Each structure stands twice: as structure tokens, then as C-alpha cells.
């Protein structure tokens, strides 16, 4: 069951693909649906993707494909075929997500403070809600996470062994580490031989998100 806005967006994308073979830009979708920001479009796209009405073609921010339309009573002769989009040569759509300050990749420091806008290429983000953190420290260098990088975090509250997560310790400090469970204990592993693993009672640790990507500025 789609919401009115999801249905409106799906129809808009379908009609544009049928007419031009190219999916509309995020700005065009925002204007067509009278939304205030592209983040609203991103949420609608993610919802349609999760419900398998559309899919994004790999590595192309604007390349959307309509997989199916909602079940409606339409005569077969009137049903338009679902077109395959022509992949554009370049795409530069971006999405603004919150930037919540700096997070330690070494010793835990206070994090998740402040909220600035951070522009991210839409193609880097999958479904779900995301935020960004600036990495401080060198304890995750063997995972390719360097001081000054921007970690793109998908909001989740649970993790599996081996996932790189934002862990909030004692509701005060946060750190970026690899998650491991040891019975009733949580082990947070660095990716630098110079650092030791951190162990906490499970009640002291809350998962704030899972690493979804990195952005490095030169």
C-alpha cells in the first residue's frame, strides 16, 4: 500500500521514463511533488525501493528503473510497457544529511553534538536514514578509515559480529569500532595494532548506527 506522495512520485517517474527514457533529477522530483528539500524525495525513493516498485541502477545517481506499478484495473490494451531508462553519462545529484560533529576512531570522545548539513552523492546511500560523522583518530586505519574522513552512518540500533558501528558508551561517549559480542560483554575492536580492544558490559553500550560509506576530501 503506497502513500499518496509515494504513488504520485512513482507515476511521475514512470511518465518521465515513458516520455524521455531518462529518469527525472531529484530537483525535478522535488518540484513536481512540491517538497521543501531533496531529502524528502530521498525518503520517498527509499520507500519505493524497499517495496520493490523501483530500483536504482548501480553507480548512477539518476538512473531509476520502474519495476512494477501498483495493482490497478487497467485494460491490457491501455497498459503502457515499463521502459528501461537510458543511463545518463553523468549524474551529480546530492542529498543533504545531518553532520553530527566528530567521532573518535581511537579513544572514545563526546559525539553526536551539533547538526550541520552535509551533502552526499545520492548514489552512495541505500535505503534508510543516514547521518555523517567526521572521524578523529587513527585506530581504524587498517580498515581504510583515516583521520579527517567523513563516515556515512545508517541509523540502526543493533549489529552483527564484524560490522563497523557507532557505539555509544554510558550514554555519553561514542566511538567507531568493529562490533563483537562475547557472552554478556561487548568488545569493540580497533583496526590498528597499536590499540587494544575495548570491552564493556552489554548494558553500557548502545548501537547508534552502522558504517555505510566514507567520503575523503583532498
Which residues carry out catalysis?
Answer: 139, 177
**Taking Cα atoms as reference points, which of 102, 101, 190 lies closest to residue 139?**
190
- Pairwise CA distance, residues 136 & 85, whole Å: 41
Please answer whether residues 137 and 105 qualify as being in contact, where contact means their C-beta atoms are separated by less than 8 angstroms.
yes
C-alpha distances (whole Å) from 35 to each of 26, 28, 95, 97, 143 are 11, 10, 14, 16, 38
For 137, left (φ over 0), alpha (ψ -120 to 50), or beta?
A: left
* Cα dihedral across residues 102, 128, 57, 88: positive or negative: negative
DSSP annotation of 109 reads B
- Pairwise CA distance, residues 64 & 123, whole Å: 11
**Taking Cα atoms as reference points, which of 99, 138, 102 lies closest to residue 115?**
99
- Pairwise CA distance, residues 165 & 17, whole Å: 38
- Pairwise CA distance, residues 207 & 158, whole Å: 6
Amino acid at each position: 500500500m503506497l502513500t499518496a506522495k509515494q504513488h504520485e512520485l512513482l507515476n511521475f517517474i514512470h511518465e518521465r521514463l515513458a516520455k524521455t527514457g531518462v529518469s527525472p533529477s531529484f530537483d525535478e522530483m522535488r518540484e513536481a511533488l512540491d517538497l521543501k528539500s531533496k531529502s524528502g524525495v530521498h525518503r520517498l525513493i527509499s520507500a519505493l525501493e524497499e517495496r520493490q516498485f523501483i530500483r536504482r541502477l548501480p553507480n548512477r545517481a539518476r538512473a531509476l528503473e520502474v519495476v512494477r506499478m501498483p495493482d490497478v484495473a487497467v485494460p491490457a490494451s491501455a497498459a503502457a510497457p515499463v521502459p528501461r531508462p537510458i543511463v545518463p553519462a553523468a549524474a551529480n545529484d546530492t542529498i543533504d544529511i545531518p553532520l553530527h560533529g566528530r567521532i573518535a576512531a581511537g579513544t572514545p570522545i563526546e559525539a553526536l553534538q551539533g547538526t550541520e548539513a552535509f551533502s552526499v552523492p545520492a548514489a552512495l546511500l541505500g535505503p534508510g536514514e543516514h547521518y555523517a560523522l567526521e572521524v578523529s583518530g587513527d585506530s581504524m586505519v587498517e580498515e581504510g578509515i583515516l583521520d579527517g574522513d567523513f563516515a556515512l552512518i545508517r541509523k540502526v540500533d543493533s549489529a552483527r559480529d564484524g560490522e563497523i558501528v557507532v557505539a555509544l558508551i554510558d550514554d555519553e561517549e561514542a566511538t567507531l569500532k568493529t562490533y563483537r559480542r562475547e557472552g554478556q560483554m561487548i568488545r569493540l575492536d580497533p583496526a590498528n595494532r597499536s590499540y587494544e580492544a575495548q570491552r564493556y558490559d552489554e548494558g553500557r553500550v548502545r548501537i547508534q548506527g552502522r558504517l555505510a560509506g566514507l567520503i575523503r576530501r583532498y
